[in-house]
Amino acid sequence: MGRVLVWLIAAISSITLSLQPALSEPKHAITMQGEPALPADYTHFNYVNPDAPKGGSIT
Protein backbone atom coordinates (compact mmCIF):
# COMPACT_ATOMS: atom_id res chain seq x y z
CA MET A 1 0.00 0.00 0.00
CA GLY A 2 2.85 2.39 0.83
CA ARG A 3 4.66 1.96 -2.49
CA VAL A 4 1.44 2.40 -4.46
CA LEU A 5 0.74 5.66 -2.63
CA VAL A 6 4.26 6.97 -3.31
CA TRP A 7 4.00 6.10 -7.03
CA LEU A 8 0.56 7.71 -7.22
CA ILE A 9 1.80 10.93 -5.62
CA ALA A 10 4.84 10.99 -7.92
CA ALA A 11 2.69 10.47 -11.01
CA ILE A 12 0.19 13.16 -10.05
CA SER A 13 2.99 15.60 -9.22
CA SER A 14 4.80 15.05 -12.51
CA ILE A 15 1.58 15.44 -14.52
CA THR A 16 0.58 18.68 -12.79
CA LEU A 17 4.09 20.16 -13.07
CA SER A 18 4.37 19.29 -16.76
CA LEU A 19 1.08 21.02 -17.58
CA GLN A 20 2.15 24.40 -16.18
CA PRO A 21 3.37 26.93 -18.75
CA ALA A 22 6.90 28.30 -18.68
CA LEU A 23 7.31 31.33 -16.45
CA SER A 24 9.84 33.22 -18.58
CA GLU A 25 9.32 35.30 -21.68
CA PRO A 26 11.58 35.11 -24.75
CA LYS A 27 14.73 37.29 -24.79
CA HIS A 28 17.11 38.35 -27.55
CA ALA A 29 20.12 36.87 -25.75
CA ILE A 30 21.09 34.10 -23.36
CA THR A 31 22.32 35.09 -19.89
CA MET A 32 23.38 33.17 -16.81
CA GLN A 33 21.71 35.62 -14.41
CA GLY A 34 19.70 38.80 -14.81
CA GLU A 35 19.22 40.82 -17.97
CA PRO A 36 21.40 40.67 -21.11
CA ALA A 37 24.33 43.13 -21.06
CA LEU A 38 23.83 44.32 -24.65
CA PRO A 39 20.61 45.56 -26.25
CA ALA A 40 18.98 43.67 -29.09
CA ASP A 41 20.12 46.19 -31.73
CA TYR A 42 23.81 46.64 -30.79
CA THR A 43 26.21 47.27 -33.64
CA HIS A 44 29.59 46.52 -32.03
CA PHE A 45 31.10 45.32 -28.77
CA ASN A 46 32.29 47.89 -26.22
CA TYR A 47 35.97 47.01 -26.76
CA VAL A 48 35.81 47.42 -30.57
CA ASN A 49 36.56 50.72 -32.32
CA PRO A 50 34.06 50.95 -35.21
CA ASP A 51 36.11 53.81 -36.72
CA ALA A 52 39.36 51.83 -36.82
CA PRO A 53 41.27 51.97 -40.14
CA LYS A 54 40.59 49.06 -42.46
CA GLY A 55 43.07 47.35 -44.75
CA GLY A 56 46.85 47.21 -44.55
CA SER A 57 49.15 44.23 -44.34
CA ILE A 58 50.89 42.16 -41.71
CA THR A 59 54.60 41.51 -42.11
For 4, 25, 39, 49, the CA distances from 45, given in Å and listed in that order, are 58, 25, 11, 8
pTM as predicted: 0.40
31: CB partners within 8 A, 6+ apart: 37
Span 8-44, pLDDT tens digits: 888 888 887 776 666 667 888 888 888 888 899 989 9
What string of H, E and C letters represents the secondary structure of 15-49? HHHHCCCCCCCCCCCCCCCCCCCCCCCCCCCCCCC
